[in-house]
Amino acid sequence: MTFETLARVAPEQLQEVVEVPPDTPVLKGDTGFRATRGEMLLHAATHAVYHRSQIRHGLTRLGVSIPEPDYIFVMTETGRA
């Protein structure tokens, strides 16, 4: 989802409750859950950060040099900030 798409989402749409059934493949166990669309978007963003962190940690442990991921630090290091 792009920022342009998110900008068109009305606040009341973010409050709509979505029911995720128990047989959803990504769920562990056999219980479903209910959450607002806003909560689901927040989960997607924070979960993506979690996996990026896992990958960065794994590569660092393997001795791979990882560039700085934070944009503001990249700008500072390249003299563009």
Indicate the pairing of strand 33-36 with strand 17-20: antiparallel
pTM score over 0.85: no
What is the per-residue pLDDT across 29-70, written as a single tens digit (0 to 9) for each?
Answer: 678 889 999 998 888 888 888 888 898 899 999 999 887 777
The mean pLDDT of 4-25, rounded to a whole number, is 88
Question: Distance between CA atoms of 30 and 5, rounded to whole angstroms?
Answer: 33
Q: Residue-wise over 44-80: b if at least 16 C-beta within 10 A, else e? A: eeeeeeeeeeeeeeeeeeeeeeeeeeeeeeeeeeeee
Residue 64's pLDDT is 93
Residue 81's pLDDT is 63
Structure-token match 């056999």, residue found: 30
